[in-house]
Amino acid sequence: MRNFTSLELAFIGDAIHTAFVRNWALTKFDKPINNIHKICSKLCSAVFQASVLDLLELTDEEKEIVRKARNAKPKHQAKNSGSAEYKKATAFEAIIGYHFLSQNDERLNYLLNKSIIGGGTNAI
């Protein structure tokens, strides 16, 4: 794997996490698509992703990815979160992107499932 920047890892991690959440919501709920979209929006928000990051037990390698991603300088900020939450969400997405690109499927699936179950879906 080439050396991706933290923001590149977060870019792909955001897409992977969003696809995972959408697939989960479509199979879990029998609701109109607008309701499913609202559920997915909450689970993919910077606020929710930041809360998930706080729950994870990270490896030393993942802690380093988090450190770099939180220190990255994105060109924009999320609409509905503060700077600290946005940086934590970027770090969470970077971990997802790292494991996806490294083809660490077992750890990736664990983290994605943890983002739904461990993140507390009572938020939806």
Structural domains of the chain, ranges and CATH numbers in brackets: 6-119 (1.10.1520.10)
Question: How much of the chain, in percent, has pLDDT values that exceed 90?
Answer: 70
Catalytic residue among 14, 30, 54, 60: 14
Give per-residue pLDDT as tens, 20-37: 999 999 999 999 999 999
- Which amino acid is located at 18 in the chain? T
Q: Is 14 a catalytic residue?
A: yes
79: pLDDT strictly greater than 60: yes
Q: Distance between CA 42 and CA 22 in Å, rounded? A: 11
Residues of the chain above pLDDT 70, percent: 87
8-state DSSP, 123 = G
Q: How confident is the model at residue 1 (pLDDT cuts 50, 70, 90)?
A: low
- The number of residues in the chain equals 124
Say what the pLDDT of residue 73 is.
77
